[in-house]
Structure 1
């Protein structure tokens, strides 16, 4: 019996190590791709003066920081490293903010596309650089509401000496009241409903405009509809990931092993996959961005015509 139990522990450790390696490799690869896209953005003046590209690179920055923090948490949890509660509080705050900034930025990008396609004559009047940066400030302010609320509640509820004590760093450490968890659910659902409504409205209007244009420009309309479908595939898991902590908490109350499996599944499907689709939708499928990206991906060896970039 003791031998069987020891063998089970070894198999479980090997299985967990395989999952950690897969997540680490995928996260590192997406970090490299996103970094290359960010580098391409800063090399061209046209990208830096266009609203949708500014939103795009902001999403890339948020995804890079999120992936870096996710790898950091993964290593801490796998090796059972602990850290002072005060430092953990700061890191978890940043992680929570990045969780909301990505889908909020995608929502802003969907509204920008709605203006560009449905109101083309007013697009240049509405979408300009200063307004893009103002929108980014608003995105970060809105993204900080839930983390700030949870942080203030935690600070007001625990003694000051606890910040120097060590613990395994994860967001659940800072949920110390039952009503605090309920408040978190309510605030997350409000985020979800607002973003879902904005996305549903903008993409519904875009698809109507694309259908009306089919008779005059079928190829362009078909490409637009494909882009809308890809946007929807990316935005849906980005919104669903806001519910993942609550689903995981329900499984944690039932079985720890099921909790680990569900958490791994959620990370791959709802956190990594949207950050994989973002370069595809907004980078590789954009002709101007793709031509510039291809030039820098080959480190200048493969020359691209200036008229194309």
Structure 2
């Protein structure tokens, strides 16, 4: 009996050690990904501010906003995930504020992607009016509109939470998670419904811009063929990025269902959702505009190597003005 008990104890200890090792490896892998992601984004944001040509171009301004939103979301979600991993309790009010900000920023990215597609539509389909439409005033209005629209789902979810949360809950300390705002099942359903309305509206805009740009591409001259084709590919990449960004709104529903089945499966699913629908779509923005854009890549490469290679200097190259 004693041997059997000791074997069971050692088996449980070994299983716990393996579980802890696996979880440590996962959290370390996430920190490496987040570190690389933030370094690349900070380098691109720095590059954006170094050239007047970028700061006065609408598509680069929208790209910079995407980098800022993605970096902010990455920092906040990483802090929340690390806190949940170490089971760190914080007061309810700061957690609620953090969750509202995360929701706002997460919606801001797909809305900015839609704005970038519209900018490409105006540039390709209405080239003569592009300079008039894409001016500093319209850029400011567009940015404010994106921030306002991205705040609406967050405030809806916040007011629904305030109407349902008890006074004792506000005074409690909790392990912060984005699901904390979903006290009842109807909260999750409300969040999903609002997200789907946004998804359908944004998808309709992207499909519209894709069809219009494709129509121009068919009749474009050989000189404009390359630019139009590149815009078509950009819209397709944005559509894929939008799908990944909005699928994260389904994650709470999936995770809640999985949680009822098995806790280990829930942990693995939550980890996969974080990699696929939080980190992955945010890595696409640098690829779409940072590395595929020749002018931006040239300037970024110069600053990435601390200006050592003068051949890539944006100050001596005529390709970047």
Give TM-score scaled by structure 2 length.
Answer: 0.90
> What residue number does 2:192 align with?
185
Give, in whole Å, the separation in 1 of the partners of 2:98 and 2:105.
11
**Aligned mate of 2:108, from 101, 105, 108:** 101
CA RMSD of aligned residues (A): 1.8
> What residue number does 1:10 align with?
17
Give, in whole Å, the separation in 1 of the partners of 2:47 and 2:83.
32
Q: CA deviation at 1:195?
A: 0.9
Q: CA deviation at 1:30?
A: 0.5
The answer on 1:90 being equivalent to 2:97 is yes
> What residue number does 1:203 align with?
210
Give, in whole Å, the separation in 2 of the partners of 1:115 and 1:22.
41
> What residue number does 2:285 align with?
278
Q: How does 1:130-141 map to 2 (within 5 A)?
A: 130-141=137-148
**Aligned mate of 2:45, from 38, 42, 52:** 38
Q: CA deviation at 1:240?
A: 2.0
**Aligned mate of 2:154, from 147, 154, 160:** 147
Give, in whole Å, the separation in 2 of the partners of 1:204 and 1:249.
38
Contact residue 192 and residue 242 of structure 1 kept, 8 A: no
Contact residue 206 and residue 235 of structure 2 kept, 8 A: no
> What residue number does 1:114 align with?
121
CA, structure 1 residues 233+176, in 2 after alignment: closer, same or farther (shift >3 Å)? closer
- Aligned length, in residue pairs: 309
Give, in whole Å, the separation in 1 of the partners of 2:127 and 2:34.
38
Q: CA deviation at 1:106?
A: 0.4
Give, in whole Å, the separation in 2 of the partners of 1:221 and 1:162.
55
Q: CA deviation at 1:20?
A: 0.7
The answer on 1:21 being equivalent to 2:28 is yes
The 3-state SS of whatever aligns with 1:301 is coil
The answer on 1:126 being equivalent to 2:137 is no
Give, in whole Å, the separation in 1 of the partners of 2:188 and 2:289.
35
> What residue number does 1:70 align with?
77
> What residue number does 1:294 align with?
301
- The worse-fitting range, judged by mean Cα deviation, of 147-156 and 19-28 is 147-156
CA, structure 1 residues 5+54, in 2 after alignment: closer, same or farther (shift >3 Å)? same
Contact residue 41 and residue 71 of structure 2 kept, 8 A: yes
Contact residue 110 and residue 202 of structure 1 kept, 8 A: yes
**Aligned mate of 1:231, from 234, 238, 260:** 238
Give, in whole Å, the separation in 2 of the partners of 1:2 and 1:17.
22
> What residue number does 2:319 align with?
308
The 3-state SS of whatever aligns with 1:243 is helix
Q: CA deviation at 1:245?
A: 2.1
TM-superposition CA deviations, 1:156-186 (whole Å, max 9, x none):
3234443232110012222122222221121
CA, structure 1 residues 162+226, in 2 after alignment: closer, same or farther (shift >3 Å)? closer
The answer on 1:255 being equivalent to 2:262 is yes
Unaligned 5+ runs, structure 1:
none
> What residue number does 1:164 align with?
171
Q: CA deviation at 1:297?
A: 1.0
Contact residue 161 and residue 187 of structure 2 kept, 8 A: no
Give, in whole Å, the separation in 1 of the partners of 2:222 and 2:96.
56
Contact residue 213 and residue 228 of structure 2 kept, 8 A: no
Q: CA deviation at 1:225?
A: 4.2
Unaligned 5+ runs, structure 2:
1-7
Contact residue 188 and residue 252 of structure 2 kept, 8 A: no
The 3-state SS of whatever aligns with 2:249 is coil
- The worse-fitting range, judged by mean Cα deviation, of 23-32 and 131-140 is 131-140
